[in-house]
Amino acid sequence: MATLLTQTAFAKHRGVGKSAVSNWKKAGLLVFADDGTGALLVDVTRTEAKLNARLDPTRGRPTAGMQDGSVPELPIDGEADEGSALQQRNLARVRADVAEEDLVGKRMKNAELARELVPAMDAERRLGQLGRMARERVQSELRARAERLAAEREPRAIMALLDEATDKAFHALAAAILNGAADVSEDEEVIAEAA
C-alpha cells in the first residue's frame, strides 16, 4: 500500500519548507491519492519518483534544461538514452510501480471473478445474518437449560451450565456455516422477517 502524507508532513519528510511543496503542487509535480476517507493526500512513493526525475537534488528546482517548462522526451525502447543514470533509475522505479499497480488490479479482478471477493453490502448483510443466528442459537440453548439454571444454587455450577450452553450453540453455528446451511437467500430472509 502506498504511503500517504499531508503536504506539511511531506515537506518534513522531504526536508524542505512548506513553500517548496506549494511550488511543486503548482508545477504539477505532486501525485495525490485518496486515503479512503475522501481526503486527498500526497502519495509519497510516486511523488518522490516524479520529483527525483525532474528536480536537481542540489537545488530543489528543475534542472537547467527543464526551466522553460519543457519535459524531456522519453526514449523509445531500443533507443539509447542520453539521460543521467539517476533519471534512468527513477524511470525504472516508476515503471516498476506502474507494473505493480497493474498486477494488483488484475489480481483483484481475478479474485472478484473467482467469487473470492464480495461487495461490501453483501458482506454486511451476511454478517448481520450470522449475528442473528448466533444470538438465536445461544438463546435457544439457554431456554433449554432454564429449569436447571433456576434450580441450581452453586455459582460455579451455574457458570458451567452457561459455558456448556454457549459452547454447544457456537459449535452448532460453526457446523451450520461449514455445511452451508447458514446461507440464506434474500427471499428466504424476507419471508422469515415477515413471519
| 67 has a pLDDT exceeding 60 | no
* Interval 147-160 mean pLDDT: 91
- pLDDT score recorded for residue 82: 52
Both 11 and 107 in one domain: the answer is: yes
Encode pLDDT of 12-31 as tens digits: 988 888 888 888 888 888 88
CA atoms within 13 A on the CB side of 166: 6
Encode pLDDT of 121-136 as tens digits: 888 888 888 889 889 9
Both 173 and 151 in one domain: the answer is: yes
What's the alpha-carbon Rg for the chain, to the nearest Å? 30
* Domain region containing 35: 4-113
Encode pLDDT of 33-60 as tens digits: 887 787 888 888 888 888 877 766 666 5
Q: Of 113, 133, 166, at which residue does a domain stop? A: 113
**Sign of CA pseudo-dihedral 15, 19, 22, 24:** negative
Both 90 and 16 in one domain: the answer is: yes
| 109 has a pLDDT exceeding 70 | yes
Q: Name the residue type at position 31.
A: V
CA distance 87 to 46: 14
Instruction: Confirm if 117 and 153 have CB atoms less than 8 A apart.
Output: no
Q: Strand 4-5 relative to strand 32-34: parallel, antiparallel, unpaired? A: unpaired
Distances (CA, A) of 95 to 39, 70, 98, 100, 181: 26, 21, 5, 9, 48
- pLDDT score recorded for residue 173: 87
Encode pLDDT of 68-101 as tens digits: 444 444 554 444 445 567 777 888 888 888 889 9
Both 144 and 186 in one domain: the answer is: yes
| 61 has a pLDDT exceeding 80 | no
Nearest to 45 by CA among 69, 14, 71, 19: 14
- pLDDT score recorded for residue 121: 87
- pLDDT score recorded for residue 63: 57
For 24, the grid coordinates are 511543486
CA 184 to chain centre: 28
- pLDDT score recorded for residue 193: 47
Both 66 and 133 in one domain: the answer is: no
Encode pLDDT of 166-191 as tens digits: 999 999 888 888 887 655 554 454 44
- pLDDT score recorded for residue 9: 92
CA distance 85 to 91: 10
